[in-house]
Amino acid sequence: MDDSIDAKRREIVRRVKQKKKRPKHTALYFFLSFFATLFGIFCIGLFIMYGPFDYVRNLWVTTAMGTGQHQWLATMLFDQKDINAILNSNKVVEPSSNTNPNAIKVTGKVKDNATTLPTEYNSEHIIDGVGFIKIRSDGGLGHVYKGWVVKIYDPSRVYMALSNKFGDSGERISHMVQRTGAYVGINAGGFEDPGGEGNGGTPNALLISNFKIEHPLQSNTSIHSIIGLDSQNRLTLQKLSTSQATQSRGLKGLKTAVEWSPFLIMDGQLSSMTAYSGGAPQPRTAIGQTQSGVLIFLIIDGRRPGVSDGATFRDLQQLMVKYGAYEATTLDGGSSSVLVYNDGSTSQVLNNPSSADGERYLPNAFLITK
């Protein structure tokens, strides 16, 4: 009897010990599997980045280096020499000659057809001489986007405004529009933005407002991409050396100008793009003009996966072609992309800026007078 009880006790003790050991083996198996998976992903990543797949490597580097805050995604994997080689081999190839403003004949006539902004897509509401169109992609691009097209039939209404503390700190465009009594505003050129935490007070390149140079040419480049409106309100796109830009014929006669690139359309000729130079989908801002003088503002939301991923340079180019642009170029984008509308009582942001804080503080903006 005692032997039987002892045998049962020993069996119970053995089972308890086994149960205590099992969690250890399970935990060990989990951690081994977890680290094996991580190691496998790491190896696959290395194979993709450094193996035969140029497309992925080029797209990764051009996308990361095209942002202001996330270039470390490229620099942590590649040295600067390799990055420069990738960027140099994946540029947007722009037409070689500067634009001819004489090809644009400004008419400036249009009739209003609405009193409120559109709520449906692809329908133009012309209010106070300005057309507003909500747009979205058809989903067949591998990415989706939403945004706005604004058509200014009288381009003489467009001017460059400066922040209220220009040179010291920036200003939100909604406040700028409200303060000046403007009708519409969009972001324009770039600005000093160390670590993505700049206060928007200082441009980082040429800025001309009302025929006056408010900031000199970009200092770290020998060829300058000049986007200007001349005295006849015609959009001009020029690639100028520093000496050409500082000569009287380079910047003379420009009412408004900023430096930015790439150019998308020059005198009706499309810039050519590889799969990489089309860029990854991002929030974008662009400006264009038709041969009849209608200025086009284009704002695309981005960094909202599944809702609006953003647009590539190719997307912008195709949209500008769709709306009749004869000249077109990119402006500063990313978290700076913003479109503001003033209904007469208050200014409102029509798009969805990608920054978690909403609108960024900027040194300047394209505004439309009422």
pLDDT digits (tens, 9 = 90+) for 55-71: 677 777 777 776 666 78
191-223 pLDDT, tens digit per residue, is: 998 877 788 999 999 999 999 999 999 998 999
pLDDT at 81 over 90: no
Average pLDDT, stretch 311-327?
A: 96
pLDDT for residue 234: 98
Strands lying side by side in the sheet with 207-209: 212-215, 207-209, 254-259, 223-230, 235-241
pLDDT confidence bin for 5, thresholds 50/70/90: low
Q: Is 99 exposed, middle or buried (0-12, 13-18, 19+ CB in 10 A)?
A: buried
Contact 101, 234 (CB under 8 A): yes
Strands lying side by side in the sheet with 184-187: 158-162, 364-368, 184-187, 339-342, 347-349
DSSP assignment, residue 129?
Answer: T
Of the candidate ranges 16-20, 180-184, 258-262, 273-277, the one whose mean pLDDT is the lowest: 16-20
pLDDT for residue 34: 72
pLDDT confidence bin for 274, thresholds 50/70/90: confident
Average pLDDT, stretch 357-367?
A: 95
Distances (CA, A) of 349 to 165, 186, 207, 339, 360: 21, 10, 24, 6, 12
CB neighbours of residue 8 within 10 Å: 10
Average pLDDT, stretch 133-162?
A: 94
Question: 228 phi and psi, to 5 degrees?
Answer: -135, 160
Per the model's pLDDT, the better-predicted residue between 78 and 23 turns out to be 78
pLDDT for residue 48: 54
Question: 214 phi and psi, to 5 degrees?
Answer: -90, -20
Report CA dihedral (250, 277, 351, 224) to the nearest 10 degrees: -10
Length of the chain: 370
pLDDT confidence bin for 90, thresholds 50/70/90: confident
Tell me the H-state helices in 181-332: 242-246, 248-251, 313-322
What is the C-alpha separation between 109 and 153, in angstroms, rounded? 6
Q: Give me the percent of the chain exceeding a pLDDT of 70.
A: 86
pLDDT for residue 190: 95
Question: 254 phi and psi, to 5 degrees?
Answer: -85, 120
Please tell me the pTM assigned to this model. 0.83
Average pLDDT, stretch 27-37?
A: 71
pLDDT at 249 over 80: no
